[in-house]
Structure 1
Amino acid sequence: MSDRSQQTPATQNEPSARRSDSSAQEPDHPFLERQIPHLAESIRKTSFWAAIVLPVCYLPLLAVGLGSRLESTAFLLLLGCNLLALYVGHSYRR
């Protein structure tokens, strides 16, 4: 117990400070920067806004119901696209 109380706040937060420094140097999606560096920011921006707008498309599907195979498949594809957009667009403007 006395060990923790004797540590200074700087030494307690040292590992997290290292993590923030290393994350500032490394991009969240290095694949985009390596493969298509001139489009990486545009892809993130589009994915960010798609992740915001896509849930609106759930409403008509849920209002009609997911009784048929086509409607269920459409819902699952829409959900998958939304998850992908969330993943790619989460680092937009960080």
Structure 2
Amino acid sequence: MAREESKILIFGGTGYIGSYMVKASIKLGHPTYVYSRPNSTKIDLLNEGELEEHEKLVSLLEEIDVVISALAYPQVRDQLKVIEAIKVTGNIKVCLHSEG
């Protein structure tokens, strides 16, 4: 039986820790995407936007299976916006978030 790969969205994937998570996810064969603020470091997998863009987050999360947040300490509370969008979609299998 073939293993189905999970579509993974990483918040903070352009940062120090997040960049390692992106590399590891890709190495494991998962379709991997990064959500980052506009004007962040450019990488091929980038989805740009602000965490305040609720509709955009919901739309993107509808296509995702797993969410990983590697947001830095000043943005830890902003993860609540991601969690609210996850609640709307109802399809996320796993959500791992940073504690700061």
Query: TM bucket by the smaller chain?
Result: under 0.3
Greater C-alpha radius of gyration = 1
Larger relative contact order (Cα-Cα within 8 Å, sequence gap ≥ 6) = 1
Higher strand share: 2
Higher normalized helix content (fraction of residues): 1
